[in-house]
Copies of this chain bind each other. A is one copy, B any other.
Amino acid sequence: MALRRRKTPMPELPTDIPGYGPLLPHRATRKGGARRSKLLPDFDAAIAACDLRDGATVSFHHHLRNGDGVLNMVMEALARRGLRDLHIAASSIFPVHAPLIDHIRNGTVSRISTAFMSGPVGEAISRGVLPTPVTLQTHGGRARALDLRELPVDVAFVAAPAADDMGNLSGSTGPTACGTLGYPMVDVGVARHTVAVTDTLMPYPVPAIDIPQTCVTHVVQVAHIGDAAGIASGTTRPANDPLSLSIADTAAQVIAASGLLQEGISFQTGAGGASLATAAAVGREMAARGVTGSFCSGGITGFHVQMLNDGLFRGLLDVQCFDLEAVRSYRDDPRHQSMSAATYAGPHVGGAVVDRVDAVVLGAAEVDLNFNVNVTTRAGGIIIGGSGGHADTAAGSRLAVVTTRLTAAGFAKLVPQVGTLTTPGATIDVVVTEAGLAVNPARPDLAERLISAGLRVRDMADLVAEAALAGTRPTPPRALGRIVAVCEYRDGNVTDVVRVAPSET
């Protein structure tokens, strides 16, 4: 008798336990039931599975940079399904994304939020193609807006160089390897759905997981997610023309004289040739002094990798690989670590990596008397970029150095007032030009150090005046028409707006 199977295989339980509360008894269920694959046949299936509707927000990341194929593929699929009024929340938009313009014209897309926008889309938006103003964020501000649900995302699309059918994603594997996946790491944590798009479906589990399966809802396989050659778009080599080298040399002297060039210095530069030339000059000074730095952060290039391998720094904190040498290094060198956009630059995380950067070298389209920087528009008001991490690193670093020539294309780059205010002057410490440098009046200590070191410290007004003389074309006045872009600071407050560009610019 005792050995017969009981009718109720579960013990009888009270309905409420003192000190524990009410309970639901477990009921015998069948084994399994959880999905063993997240693979869907195509975008249409993914769009249906995500219940994507008119007005939804879809997010993208830019680790494939100008080689990205995913944004265009997804938008084509969404347009084909007749979706309308979509909001594109892309970490950056590149020239390769020109097809977006037609999606805007057709009404598929009516809103855009991004931290950087170059090429035809920026130009078209400057001319007024988008019915609403584009929201230009900083990299850290975007992470904040996502994490705090100010920017709710319906579907995050992740270009995954490799994925398995449960959605573990790797950035450093496959023919279109792009390295770290620092930007979508934020999106996938908050999006209602995440669709990974991959051309390299690997057996479970993928090696070198960058984003774990718990963050991914669906996986779609395509022939090619993009063109790896497009990852290294823009300069990622130090400039070597005499004028750039002279500015770089001065900037390095500024850092050396600032007192920060000590054991453990942390350093960030953009990927532009002038910034990298400064990094090279700083590296030479570090080697000469026998100083080993702690880390380089931000977007990482082969040049930074070389500095790591030369022993100038102990590690790299990488939110985005700027070229294929960086991709290889991230894959092979454990000292080369990834970080999310929130960890990199979030103003909401109680201390981000940018807050530990000693010196950052930044570029500028324009700088003004108040040290405000414009990296958003060129003279005439056409959108050519946006903050990216510019405003974040300026705010976080101990020393933010802007390097710039006095003029470009005949326009003065040092101006009474910037055409668009991207990065507030309160966060910029020094501006270095070929005609000398200016120190923010808020940093008299620094000015003193630089003067003591024999550097040619000038008044910003004098540099602006000299730039005006050197310029051959007058700075166009600010436009007055409809607002086409809103420039948000990292905290979501607004630093400036961009107005529709007059047709002649």
Measuring CB to CB, which residues of chain A are less than 8 angstroms from any residue of chain B?
2-6, 9-11, 13-14, 17-20, 23-32, 34-36, 38, 111, 131-133, 135, 166, 203-205, 207-209, 212-214, 217, 264, 266, 294-295, 314-315, 317, 334-335, 337, 339-340, 342-343, 346-347, 349-353, 355-356, 369-370, 372, 394-396, 398, 400, 416-417, 421, 424-427, 429, 442, 461, 464-465, 483, 486, 489, 491-497
Q: Considering only CB atoms, which chain B residue lies closest to A459 in the complex?
A: B3
Select one of B207, B342, B398, B417 contacting A214, CB under 8 A: B342
Smallest CB–CB gap between A302 and chain B, Å? 21
Known contacts A19-B131, A351-B36: does B204 contact A3 (CB below 8 Å)?
no
Select one of B32, B317, B370, B395 contacting A32, CB under 8 A: B395
Q: Considering only CB atoms, which chain B residue lies closest to A28 in the complex?
A: B426
A386 to B27, CA, bound (A): 19
Known contacts A11-B421, A31-B427: does B214 contact A356 (CB below 8 Å)?
no
Which of A212, A266, A442 is the most central at the interface, judged by chain B CB atoms within 10 Å of its CB? A212
9 tightest Cβ-Cβ pairs between the two chains A and B: A19-B132, A9-B370, A34-B355, A26-B493, A214-B349, A3-B461, A35-B351, A26-B489, A23-B494
Which of A26, A32, A465, A494 is the most central at the interface, judged by chain B CB atoms within 10 Å of its CB? A26
List residues of chain B with CB within 8 A of the CB of A2.
416
CB <8 Å contact, A10 and B214: no
CB <8 Å contact, A372 and B35: no
CB <8 Å contact, B421 and A464: no
List residues of chain B with CB within 8 A of the CB of A372.
9-10
Smallest CB–CB gap between A442 and chain B, Å? 8
CB <8 Å contact, B352 and A495: no
Smallest CB–CB gap between A206 and chain B, Å? 9
Known: A3-B465, A4-B461, A35-B350. 5 other contacts (CB 8 A): A3-B461, A24-B494, A31-B426, A34-B355, A203-B294
Select one of B166, B203, B396 contacting A34, CB under 8 A: B396
A20 to B130, CA, bound (A): 12
